Amino acid sequence: MNPTPRIPGHRFLHSPGPTRVPDEVVAAMARQPTDLADPRVPQVIEACESGLKRLLHTERAEVFFYCANGHGGWEAVIANLVGEGTQVLVPGTGHFSDNWAAQVEAYGGRALRTPYVEGRPIDPAAVEAALRADTRHRISAVFAVHTDTASGTTSDMAALRRAIDAAAHPALFVADVVASLAAAPFEMDALGVNVVMGASQKGLMLPPGLAFVAADERAMQAALANTGPRFYWDWQRRRSDLPYRKFCGTPPLAHLAGLEAALGLIALEGLANVHARHARLAQAVHAAVGCWAEGGAMHLFTTAPAARSVSVTAIEVSPGIDPEALRTVARERFQVAIAGGLGPLAGRAFRIGHLGDVNEPMILGCLAGVEAAMQVQGVAYGRGGVDAAIASLAADGNG
Amino acid sequence: MNPTPRIPGHRFLHSPGPTRVPDEVVAAMARQPTDLADPRVPQVIEACESGLKRLLHTERAEVFFYCANGHGGWEAVIANLVGEGTQVLVPGTGHFSDNWAAQVEAYGGRALRTPYVEGRPIDPAAVEAALRADTRHRISAVFAVHTDTASGTTSDMAALRRAIDAAAHPALFVADVVASLAAAPFEMDALGVNVVMGASQKGLMLPPGLAFVAADERAMQAALANTGPRFYWDWQRRRSDLPYRKFCGTPPLAHLAGLEAALGLIALEGLANVHARHARLAQAVHAAVGCWAEGGAMHLFTTAPAARSVSVTAIEVSPGIDPEALRTVARERFQVAIAGGLGPLAGRAFRIGHLGDVNEPMILGCLAGVEAAMQVQGVAYGRGGVDAAIASLAADGNG
Amino acid sequence: MNPTPRIPGHRFLHSPGPTRVPDEVVAAMARQPTDLADPRVPQVIEACESGLKRLLHTERAEVFFYCANGHGGWEAVIANLVGEGTQVLVPGTGHFSDNWAAQVEAYGGRALRTPYVEGRPIDPAAVEAALRADTRHRISAVFAVHTDTASGTTSDMAALRRAIDAAAHPALFVADVVASLAAAPFEMDALGVNVVMGASQKGLMLPPGLAFVAADERAMQAALANTGPRFYWDWQRRRSDLPYRKFCGTPPLAHLAGLEAALGLIALEGLANVHARHARLAQAVHAAVGCWAEGGAMHLFTTAPAARSVSVTAIEVSPGIDPEALRTVARERFQVAIAGGLGPLAGRAFRIGHLGDVNEPMILGCLAGVEAAMQVQGVAYGRGGVDAAIASLAADGNG
Amino acid sequence: MNPTPRIPGHRFLHSPGPTRVPDEVVAAMARQPTDLADPRVPQVIEACESGLKRLLHTERAEVFFYCANGHGGWEAVIANLVGEGTQVLVPGTGHFSDNWAAQVEAYGGRALRTPYVEGRPIDPAAVEAALRADTRHRISAVFAVHTDTASGTTSDMAALRRAIDAAAHPALFVADVVASLAAAPFEMDALGVNVVMGASQKGLMLPPGLAFVAADERAMQAALANTGPRFYWDWQRRRSDLPYRKFCGTPPLAHLAGLEAALGLIALEGLANVHARHARLAQAVHAAVGCWAEGGAMHLFTTAPAARSVSVTAIEVSPGIDPEALRTVARERFQVAIAGGLGPLAGRAFRIGHLGDVNEPMILGCLAGVEAAMQVQGVAYGRGGVDAAIASLAADGNG
């Protein structure tokens, strides 16, 4: 069926999502479906709910899974929390905060934005100022993207919590952890986050197709007060022990089986080890890109080292370099798939994903393949990038 | 991870969805994801779109795929076509017409219903009368379930078309083919259907998680006129050549790969052969249940033979027989999973699914397993059911 | 690549080997290979060795695995134990004792045979007589087939042990458990069996490709004394802790991973439950064939009920019935693959395998499919076979 | 079942066999078995036979497949061609010629050897001299290893052919292509090779478990004249159209299905492209090791560049460096499995496999992972190895 000739070997997938699906997850998803009344169905769902709660470090939130992608997850948040005229504060993180805000507005909400400065994370002071300015508490929620996949920037959720508290504002704290979950630490209850949403195809190591929302009691109350039209996304309707109701119809059995397996893999490795691995691999990538940057043709897009995501690294290139052409050579000739720039970064950047089921030689092979593509394209990159990544990994005590 | 002891062998799945996933589809879904800019992604999508159009026999409709289940597919139809106060005629087919109508109402629409008579399909005369009565053409669409999975009844779509035409009513004709597609004949353009919706986990032989809508130009215009809040479901936003826009975010790559494979299997077998096989297997089930009924404890729920679905057979049992207990014995002791009664049929019926990737000995093994369970449960069933099914299959010229 | 049109559904494999491979075994075999020095390799081998010993109920034998089929397993026994002129007593069981004897003779050995009576198991008295007659103890071993796959007959190994003991003969007791292991009880140490050989593709639920020999110290000494040419099969050379030596070259990693998984499945179900399941399903088949036989056109080949194998049932048909034509209809039209007659039974019999990863509805579907094929072929079979099988299974307390 | 904690990601397998199994082969091997009389069985076998002949570039040889590993393939050659006292000339290639010669002697044959010089291929002049010295033509065959996996050295088969011809000696020319097939060019008929043997787990990209022999008419005649004991390996007995006879028992269905798929992948890529890819990747490895060698602690074992195998590279290390400790760090900390030294090279060398289903970033990741391990182990390697490999690959016109 595939008209293109055979491409040999393991293909290196270094988009920041979808990410590689581990064999154990593939095997779990390959299991045949059961009838929906089979008692094994609620067992799998329960394992997914409790496993996800452990991953989110929450005991008080309820979990809703959706047969949907990440934008579906956003819509689930919006449909429940945003009615005509609802005000939401969306701190600027770049492409994804822009898009979430646009989606809020499509639902008739009003999205206030704090300014986004390229290469920088959310400015908590701006959030605090915006909330303080809202003396009548018209802002019902702060919608914050933890890691903006487009910019490769991770914002400080604890600082955001402190900003909300400092403003003494009752807005709900809503976090998008699509690109950070199971890669960077995140503790829902400790952060006082009221709603978290995420999706399957990044740190959770599943194919796209499953989204989730975790909502606490305050958020559930806010949703109850929202009379906007919804059915599929509606949290109240999904409050049930019956799988068919929990999912507003047929549950996505393959994805649930896969999620149970993926959560088991994370538990087996140990969440702290998973986080450490992501940090270690990100550091190796940053070391390599630091060398490349010495050639003068590119630089790490996120300026503050602490804000560089452990999931994905955005590299801004100089004018005259075509990142899309580079990607094509990397993918088609060297079997390394990297990501491009999104939104304002389109044509100005490329991105290397390093999250999910990845390890040292995958990252090293990716970096080396990108170097090969840069050579072919005549990009003036500083030499020694892979060597720097190797040294970074070899020096790491837990490697 | 599985606390229950090993259950040997192939498990017989005879719910009317989810259905068995063929090995070729499993293998396709097991392929690792690619980055979204990979040119193989639009190739797969294009294959799914064109294959689905062939299956629907439409040349004029546009196809929208959703990362969603069947209820998500309903919501996609409703969010685009139903605004506050929109009137929709929902001909009664049982549980699923009831539910679709309720979902319309959750969006602020007004669902008119024609009466549902248990065991009978849609009454075209009632539809015609309702449309004729709507002299001001306030009804914007007729939402018709082709096969109601709960009742195992298939309605005559051509008769429905004639009823709409006879009433000279401009309502859109919207068909739910979730339970009939790739099992019973359906020709969108020839029937003058404006919108079709369906889902992956029945005749399409995929796990749940993918829904679709096919909409023609009249439907697209109606959607444009609807200003209700929506983003994820919105057809206009999805009109794009970019996969990321087509799917409002990340496409469900595994399901798309699986759908391409499943459509290939249907084409390989030949759609007419697929239909004939479903008819043949359904006839064998009806023959068996006809024998069982002679024991006086049960009967085929759908009275008119022509309205009996080729996908699923509902069997109503006499008071005193517990169909849920029967299902448990069938599933847990005899490895045959059948379905229960839904809605008003809960506790009054069981159902045998016979659609998707099924063949003769699967059906015979299922029927025999159900007989074994009925023996264990002491159900007074007429003997000879499997023999009748065998004779039906052996007599069929194309077996 | 497959020129034939699509055949839908689960295909019913009721040959007595190869048998269905469970999903868990498929998944284990799908794991990528490792380098041979990986410490996980000896772990898997050790799990296979200890699991197989548990299955054979032996503590004193050594296990040798071969990358080979069952005939390779026979050759491993012969190459080690049979030199030029070595005398071996091969009690008649039918096709497989004949073939094993012929293979002995190809190695220059002399195969003495006890008479084989069609439909009957090994006659222990004839064995005892043959051994008593060998007053000079020239016979070095008794090569006994536990279950002859061709005849569907299982011989009484305990009676054979008593016969050897009664003759006070020092011959080694060598058992072929290819078709009985993990289906019928067999206890190597308790039976005083010196060598056991078997293969992967029957009760062990693996694809063909792995054979094994378990040999005790007396057998090892006998092998040492045999100077015939051999290398690959040689037990001494394989006595090593190094995987590469244990397997005389590269170990069959996929089959070993699969065997570890299969042994795990057997342990999970419980060996006694596995045996009981095989007995239960065999009884259902015998009940059905008993009904069929009333039509006068066929009968159970093995006359004594106690000697009927729990793994496979041979059915002898009357002249004029073409079992091969029946098989073709069963396989190609009804998706049920059954076996034919071997050796003297070719064209006179067909066989139904019921071993390995099978359950109730698989057997019922198989029997019903065979009935359908018999109807198509106009075979005069007694009606009610499937009903009898259902009744047998429904009556069984442990079903 | 696995007591070790989770190891994330794709594991890099760079032993020279077993090699990575492509997804398409995994999927083919996962297909359920059929009964042996199924007409699809001979179709698969025929596809394997004709595909293998195309790969070997032979029209005149017969192919015999064995359920066996490579040593079983050797034994198949020996059992058919070597009787008591048969003389065979085994040109020295290192570990594998030594072992094949030893196996010949275990069968009572007499193995003459030409001297092996470490780091060098077969010396055709020595072969010619040995054959010329055999004036009575007692030598029946020359057993030549094309690529010796232990030394990473490939010998010139055309030069060997010329040497035999120059000596005007009638010895059969027998080639072991286990480590070269589908990696380096080899043309059986053009080379006048009479017998070729190989195995599944290297260039053929299958798990271990399948061996093959291709024999021409002269070889078949020689086998006929050999009366030594054999059955399983015997070519005559396997000359049949019946699968059961072709394989001396049950065919290894999963491996055959996998081989059909693997041959299809090779054809899809194009054999010339497959060869070019292996040459390209080998060159990159050689470039890297050339850099490493500048540190003074290691060197390429094969001295003549033309004799360096495209399948595997052996690297000899200086005294004081423990290659086994290096391998353990590479595998357990950096997920890169490389091979060790065999025979006389044990403890003196490590090897990097680069054959089968491999591509550029896999090789680059492997080399980088080995560098990381060398850093951890404090090995004094010359820097810049990965850069050299990248440059080699980027410069290659067909990359």
Cβ separation D360–A334 shorter than 8 A? yes
Interface with chain D: mutation pick from B20, B23, B34, B359, highest number of D CBs within 10 Å: B23
Tally A–B CB contacts below 8 A: 199
CB contact under 8 A, A71 and B331: no
Nearest to D219 by CA among D176, D168, D174: D174
Residue B337 has pLDDT above 50, yes or no: yes
Chain C residues near residue A20 by CB distance under 8 angstroms: none
The alpha-helical segments, DSSP class H, found in chain D are: 23-29, 40-56, 70-81, 95-106, 124-133, 157-166, 188-191, 217-224, 235-238, 243-246, 253-269, 271-293, 323-332, 360-377, 385-395
Q: Where are the alpha helices (DSSP H) in D134-270?
A: 157-166, 188-191, 217-224, 235-238, 243-246, 253-269
Structure confidence at residue C397 (pLDDT): 65
Chain A residue with CA closest to C22: the answer is: A31
D27 touches chain B (CB under 8 A): yes
CA distances from A66 to A213, B351, D296, D346 (A): 8, 27, 59, 56
Question: How does DSSP classify residue D295?
Answer: T
- How do strand B172-176 and strand B139-145 relate by DSSP bridges? parallel
Q: Measured between alpha carbons, how far is D345 from D316 in angstroms, rounded to an integer?
A: 8
Contacts of A242 (CB under 8 A, 6+ apart): none
Q: Does C364 touch chain B (CB under 8 A)?
A: yes
Q: Which residues pair with D145 in a beta bridge?
A: D176
Instruction: Answer yes or no: is pLDDT of D386 > 60.
Output: yes
For the beta sheet containing C312-317, the strands, ordered from the edge strand earlier in sequence to the opposite edge, are C12-14, C336-340, C349-353, C312-317, C298-300
The two counts, helices (H) then strands (E), for chain B are 15, 14
User: In the beta sheet, which residues pair with residue C139?
Assistant: C87
Chain C residue with Cα closest to D249? C71
Q: Is B301 helix (H, G, I), strand (E, B) or coil?
A: coil
Looking at per-residue confidence, does D277 or D3 come out higher?
A: D277
Closest alpha carbon within chain A to D395: A376
If one counts every other C-beta atom within 10 angstroms of the C-beta of residue B391, the result is 17
Calculate the alpha carbon distances from C139 to C108, C195, C224 in Å.
Answer: 14, 15, 17
What's residue C398's pLDDT? 52
Q: Is the pLDDT of residue D2 over 60?
A: no
Which ranges of chain B would DSSP assign to H, the alpha helix? Answer: 23-29, 40-56, 70-81, 95-106, 124-133, 157-166, 188-191, 217-224, 235-238, 243-246, 253-269, 271-293, 323-332, 360-377, 385-395
The yes/no answer to whether this complex scores an ipTM above 0.90 is yes
Mean pLDDT, range D309-337, rounded to an integer:
97
D55, D181 contact by CB (below 8 A): yes
Contact B71 A207 (CB under 8 A): no
Question: Residue D21: its chain A contacts at CB < 8 A?
Answer: none
How far off is chain D from C263, nearest CA to CA, in Å? Answer: 12
Measured over all CA atoms, what is the biggest interatomic distance in chain B, rounded to whole angstroms?
Answer: 64
Is residue B387 within 8 A of residue C383, CB to CB? The reply is yes
Joined together, the tokens standing for residue D271 give 């054999």
- What residues of A are in contact with residue B253 (Cβ under 8 Å)? 18, 207-208
A87-90/A139-145 β-pairing = parallel
A130: its two tokens: 């915006």
pTM value is 0.97
Strand partners, A339: A351
Using the Cβ of D236 and the Cβ atoms of chain A, whether some distance falls under 8 Å is answered with: no
Of D145, D206, D248, nearest in space to D355 by CA? D206
**Rg of chain A over all Cα atoms, to the nearest angstrom:** 21
pLDDT of residue C2: 39
Q: Which residues contact C150 (CB under 8 A, 6 or more apart)?
A: C94, C95, C96, C314, C341, C342, C343, C345, C351
H helix or E strand, kind and range, residue C277: helix C271-293
pLDDT at A182: 98
Subunit partners of chain B (3 or more CB pairs within 8 A): A, C, D
Quick one: which of A220, A271, A275 has its CA closest to A63?
A220
Q: In what order do the strands lie in the sheet with D336-340?
A: D12-14, D336-340, D349-353, D312-317, D298-300
Measured in angstroms, the CA of D92 and the nearest CA of chain A are apart by 33
Q: Which residues of B touch C11 (CB under 8 A)?
A: 359
C-alpha triplet A171, A175, A179: angle, nearest 5°: 165
Cα separation of C86 and C110, whole Å? 6
What average pLDDT does range A219-247 have in this prediction? 96
Residues of B whose CB is below 8 A from C274 = 8
**Crossing angle of helices A360-377 and A385-395, rounded to 10°:** 170
- In D, which residues are within 8 Å of C11 by CB distance? 32, 34
> What pLDDT is attached to residue B397?
65
Mean of the per-residue pLDDT values of chain B: 96
Question: Per-residue pLDDT averaged across A117-142, rounded?
Answer: 98
Q: Are the CB atoms for A79 and A104 separated by under 8 Å?
A: no
Q: Which residues of A touch D371 (CB under 8 A)?
A: 387, 390
Q: Smallest CA–CA separation between D251 and chain C, in Å?
A: 7
Instruction: Tell me which chain C residues have a C-beta less than 8 angstroms from the C-beta of D32.
Output: 11, 13, 20-21
- Is C33's CB within 8 Å of D78's CB? no
pLDDT at C6: 87
pLDDT for position D7: 87
Q: For residue C366, list chain B residues with Cβ-Cβ distance below 8 A.
A: 361, 365
Could you tell me the two tokens for C31? Answer: 């794991």
Digit-coded pLDDT (tens) for B273-331:
999 999 999 999 999 999 999 999 999 999 999 999 999 999 999 999 999 999 999 99
Q: How far is residue B38's CA from residue C157's CA, in Å, rounded to a whole number?
A: 63
- pLDDT band of D397, cuts 50, 70, 90: low
Q: Best mutation site among A231, A260, A357 for testing chain B: the one with the most B CBs within 10 Å?
A: A231
Q: Given this model, what pLDDT does residue A1 score?
A: 35
Q: Say if CB C282 and CB C309 are below 8 A apart.
A: yes
CB contact under 8 A, A366 and D361: yes
What residues 113-172 of chain A have any CB closer than 8 A to a CB of chain B?
Answer: none
Mean pLDDT over B80-108 rounds to: 97
What distance in Å separates the CA atoms of residue C331 and residue C316, rounded to the nearest whole number? Answer: 19
| Helix (H) / strand (E) containing A390 | helix A385-395
pLDDT over 90 percentage in chain A: 97
**Dihedrals φ, ψ of A288, to 5°?**
-65, -45
Nearest neighbour of A207 by CB, restricted to B17, B33, B68: B33
Token couple for A280: 């270690």
Out of D335, D367, D394, closest to residue A375 by CB: D394
In this complex, how many residue pairs, one in chain A and one in chain D, have their CB atoms less than 8 Å apart?
A: 152
Query: Do the chains contact at B387 and C384, CB–CB below 8 Å?
Result: yes
User: CA A338 to CA A347: how far, in whole Å?
Assistant: 14
Residue C222 — φ and ψ, nearest 5°? -60, -40
Residues 7-26 of C with CB under 8 A from D: 11, 13-15, 17-21, 26
How far apart (Å, rounded) are the C-alpha atoms in residues C176 and C178? 6
Q: How far apart are CA D74 and CA D98, in angstroms?
A: 13
Widest CA span in chain A: 64
Residues in D 266-295 with any Cβ partner in A closer than 8 A:
268-270, 273-274, 277
Identify the pLDDT of residue C3.
Answer: 40
The overall average pLDDT reported for chain D is 96
Mutation site, C364, C381, C392, interface B, largest B CB count within 10 A: C364
Smallest CA–CA separation between D203 and chain A, in Å? Answer: 12
- Chain B residues whose beta carbon lies within 8 Å of the beta carbon of residue C365: 361-362, 364-366, 368
* Mean pLDDT of each 10-residue bin along chain C, 399 residues long: 69 97 96 95 97 98 98 98 97 98 97 97 98 98 98 98 98 98 98 98 98 98 96 97 95 98 97 97 98 98 97 97 98 97 96 98 98 98 98 81
Per-residue model confidence (pLDDT) at position D316: 98
Q: Which residue of B has its CA nearest to D27?
A: B27
The single residue listed with the structure tokens 């005879």 is B14
Stretch D100-117: mean pLDDT, rounded? 98
Cβ of residue B72 closer than 8 Å to a chain A Cβ = yes
What is the C-alpha to C-alpha distance for residues D11 and C74, in angstroms, rounded to an integer? 38
β-bridge mates for residue C317, sequence order:
C298
Closest by CA to B369, choosing from B123, B77, B377, is: B377
Residue C368 forms contact with B (CB below 8 Å): yes
Q: Residue D335: which of A360, A384, A389 has the nearest Cβ?
A: A360
